[in-house]
Amino acid sequence: MGKPTGFLEYTRELPSRRPVIERVNDWFEIYQELPQPKLQQQGARCMDCGVPFCHTGCPVNNNIPTWNDLVYRGRWREAVRRLHATNNFPEFTGRICPAPCETACVLGITEPAVTIKNIEKSIIDRAFDEGWIQPEPPDFETGKSVAIIGSGPAGLAAAQQLRRAGHTVTVYEKADRIGGLLRYGIPNFKLEKHVVDRRLDQLKAESVRFVTNAHIGVNVEVEKLRRDFDALVLAGGAEQPRDLRVSGRDLKGIHFAMDYLEQQNRRNEGLAISGEEILATRKHVVIIGGGDTGADCLGTAHRQHAKSVRQFELLPMPPEQRSPQTPWPLWPLQLRTESAHEEGGDRHWSVATTKFTGDEQGRVNRLHAVRIGPPPTFEPIAGTEFTVEADLVLLAMGFTGPVRNGLLDQLGVALDPRGNVQTDATHMSSVPGVFAAGDMRRGQSLVVWAIAEGRRTASAVHSYLSQ
């Protein structure tokens, strides 16, 4: 399989992203494509390892060497089949996954890793372009029904898997549109929504039923679901944002990142926005939190033409190279520069926000901060206090778990010490027939984990229903 000397002949090559000057003025995806021969060369870099660490580095266990080889050989049709065998939605992960597979790539020990993520995206985009992605309804109906609560990647993956196994599947979504985080959480420049829609079309054609504006435990009775369905899958995500309880937190202009990102996504689709509009245009923006959500806010703020954007992170700046504390093939502690960082803004490390102050209308205009030492104590360093202008503060400090009142309370499922839904090895919660998947079960995590969870839960539900 593959080309044994490919890694010695070709260097790692990714398509360049669209030029910053162009992309910050629109909301389209930043990606470009490599020409086919180059992609095949990148596929040839795969060493077809006896123990492919990428394969377990990847939460859905993508059979990476196999489709790398197929791409190298130009066998795209088979490649997408192999990809779909482990991943329902490679078009999502191919765009927004941080690619733990690549950090586990064996070539990565001594050389830049294989461009696994880009190859994945190329395979699936081509498959859609060629019309290879068709509905695959089941051959027969089992007569069993499953309700899935939440239409994010975990819920959708579970829905597709269960439907294809012949069960009747209904997906409930509290928002007005299907997709969860994919729909309203991730900015268009990373994931255009037609990419989500085309996949939803497939699910619909496979007869997955979708019910929107259905907030279980609020406007839909939990008991009704228990009565109407043979099994329930909780895939509601971990939507409880972590807050910053410091003085001045109640000032106007301080928002959770997700509220901000959702609005822009609605705006892009021409949908109405309820409540106060959050816009960065001509504002000094400070984003608190140095992770992916923070980067999403950063890219969004630039596109809204903010006056300035700063991003504060509690932790010290990670090393440029893999830290020795996280040796290969572990997920490396390492400085990551996202596309949004290329577009501008300042990143500040080892900074703790101490308070916000505002103007007379109660609007925030300054952020007070101090430089701090390393974890675990994060000792403030005396004399390093400073303030910055801040008209819009976005809190992107992660999530503390699922929203507990409502659905979870009413179902009476047990929670684990971290506040997530506790399950057994089969992903079944303390309530028989009620399963959990994705962030709701494991806490805030990656889209690829959500897909993996959805698939594993679906398999457990299927076994449960087949008993």
Partner 1 sequence: MTSRYPAPNGLPPAQGLYDPRYEHDACGMGFVASLRGEKSHAILTLGLEILINLTHRGACGSDPDTGDGAGITIQIPHTFFARECPLSGFSLPQPGEYAVGMVFLPVDSHPRLQCEGILERIAREEGLIVLGWRDTPVDETAIGRIARGSQPYIEQVFLARPASVDQDAFERRLYIVRKRAENEIAASEIDGKDLFYIPSLSSRTIVYKGLLIAPQVAKFYPELADPDVTTALCLVHQRFSTNTFPSWQLAHPFRYVAHNGEINTLRGNASWMHARQSILASPLFGDDLKKLFPIIQAGSSDSAAFDNALELLVQSGRSLPHAMAMLIPEAWTGNPHMKPEKRAFYEYHASLMEPWDGPAAIAFTDGRLIGATLDRNGLRPGRYMITEDDLVVLASEAGVLDVPPERVKRKGRLQPGKMFVVDTVAGRIVTDKEIKASLASRQPYAEWLEKNQISIGNLPEPTRFHAGDNSTLLRRQRAFGYTDEDLQMILEPMANKGEEPIGSMGTDTPLACLSDRPQLLFSYFRQLFAQVTNPPIDPIREEMVMSLTSYIGVERNILDETPLNCHTLKLPQPVLTNRELEKLRRLSYGDLLATTLSTGFRVKEGEDGLRRSLDEICRRASLAVKNGYTLIILSDRGLDEQYAPIPSLLALAAVHNTLIREETRTTVALIVESGEPREVMHFALLIGYGASAINPYLALETLEDRATSGYLADGITPELATRNFIKAIDKALLKTFSKMGISTLQSYRGAQCFEAIGLSRQLVDEYFTATVSRIEGVGLGVIAREASMRHEFAFRTPRDHEDELASGGAYHYRVDGEYHLLNPQTIRKLQHAVRSSDAKTFQEYTDLIDSQNRELCTLRGLLQIKSVAKPVPVEEVEPAKEIVRRFATGAMSFGSISKEAHETLAIAMNRIGGRSNTGEGGEDESRFQRDSSGDLRRSSVKQVASARFGVTTNYLVNADELQIKMAQGAKPGEGGQLPGHKVDEVIARLRHSTPGVGLISPPPHHDIYSIEDLAQLIYDLKNVNPQARISVKLVAEVGVGTVAAGVAKAHADVVLISGDSGGTGASPLSSIKHAGIPWELGLAEAQQTLLLNDLRSRIRVQTDGKLQTGRDVIIAALLGAEEFGFATTPLIAMGCVMMRKCHLNTCSVGIATQDPVLRARFQGQPEHVVNFFFFLAEQVRQHIAQMGFRTFDEMVGRTDMLDARIAADHWKASGLDLSSILYTPPLPGRVARRCVKSQDHGLDDALDHFLLDRTREALERQLPVELGPLPIRNVHRTVGAMLSGEIARRYGSKGLPDDRIRVHFQGSAGQSFGAFLASGVTLTLEGDANDYTGKGLSGGRIIIHPPRISPLIPEENIIVGNVVLYGATSGEAFFSGIAGERFAVRNSGATAVVEGLGDHGCEYMTNGTVIVLGACGRNFAAGMSGGIAYVYDEYNDFTRERCNLASVDLDPLESEDEELLRRLISKHMVLTGSSRARWILQHWAEVLPRFVKVFPHEFKRVLKKPQPTSLPILVTPAAVSAEVQHG
Considering only residues 143, 319, 327, 374, which one is a binding residue for partner 1 as defined by CB under 8 A?
327
Question: Does the protein bind partner 1 through residue 84 (CB under 8 A)?
Answer: yes
Q: Based on CB atoms, which residue is closest to partner 1, 20 or 330?
A: 330
Question: Does the protein bind partner 1 through residue 8 (CB under 8 A)?
Answer: yes
Question: Does the protein bind partner 1 through residue 44 (CB under 8 A)?
Answer: no
Shortest Cβ 162–partner 1 spacing (Å): 13
Considering only residues 51, 272, 382, 425, which one is a binding residue for partner 1 as defined by CB under 8 A?
51
Q: How far apart are CA 235 and CA 153, in angstroms?
A: 9
Q: How far apart are CA 368 and CA 356, in angstroms?
A: 6
| Residues 99-118 close enough to bind partner 1 by CB under 8 A | 104, 106-107, 109-111
Considering only residues 20, 211, 315, 330, which one is a binding residue for partner 1 as defined by CB under 8 A?
330
Considering only residues 24, 40, 44, 53, which one is a binding residue for partner 1 as defined by CB under 8 A?
53
Shortest Cβ 300–partner 1 spacing (Å): 34
Helix, strand, coil abundance in the chain, percent, nearest 5: 35, 15, 50
Question: Does the protein bind partner 1 through residue 370 (CB under 8 A)?
Answer: no
- Phi, psi for 268 (deg, rounded to 5): -60, -25
Question: Does the protein bind partner 1 through residue 66 (CB under 8 A)?
Answer: yes
Q: How far apart are CA 202 and CA 255, in angstroms?
A: 36
Binding piece for partner 1, criterion CB under 8 A, among 1-9, 180-188, 210-218, 283-291? 1-9
- Give the single-character DSSP code of 322: P
Q: Is-contact 389 285, C-beta < 8 A?
A: no
CB neighbours of residue 368 within 10 Å: 18
**Tokens 């496979």 map to which residue?**
206
Q: Residue 247 is encoded by which pair of tokens?
A: 């003085």
- Give the single-character DSSP code of 373: -
First and final C-alpha spacing in the chain = 40
Q: How far apart are CA 244 and CA 354, in angstroms?
A: 10
Q: Residue 218 is encoded by which pair of tokens?
A: 């609020």
Question: Does the protein bind partner 1 through residue 48 (CB under 8 A)?
Answer: yes
Considering only residues 14, 20, 85, 333, which one is a binding residue for partner 1 as defined by CB under 8 A?
85
Q: Is-contact 86 62, C-beta < 8 A?
A: yes
Shortest Cβ 66–partner 1 spacing (Å): 7
Question: Does the protein bind partner 1 through residue 211 (CB under 8 A)?
Answer: no
Which of 304, 342, 313, 19 shows the shortest CA–CA distance to 187?
304
Question: Does the protein bind partner 1 through residue 57 (CB under 8 A)?
Answer: yes
- Give the single-character DSSP code of 321: S
Question: Does the protein bind partner 1 through residue 55 (CB under 8 A)?
Answer: yes
Shortest Cβ 136–partner 1 spacing (Å): 5
Question: Does the protein bind partner 1 through residue 462 (CB under 8 A)?
Answer: no
Q: Is-contact 90 84, C-beta < 8 A?
A: yes
Question: Does the protein bind partner 1 through residue 49 (CB under 8 A)?
Answer: yes
Question: Does the protein bind partner 1 through residue 90 (CB under 8 A)?
Answer: no
Residue ranges in contact with partner 1 by CB under 8 A: 1, 3-5, 7-9, 47-53, 55-57, 61, 63, 65-66, 75, 81-82, 84-85, 88, 104, 106-107, 109-111, 134, 136, 139, 164, 327, 329-330
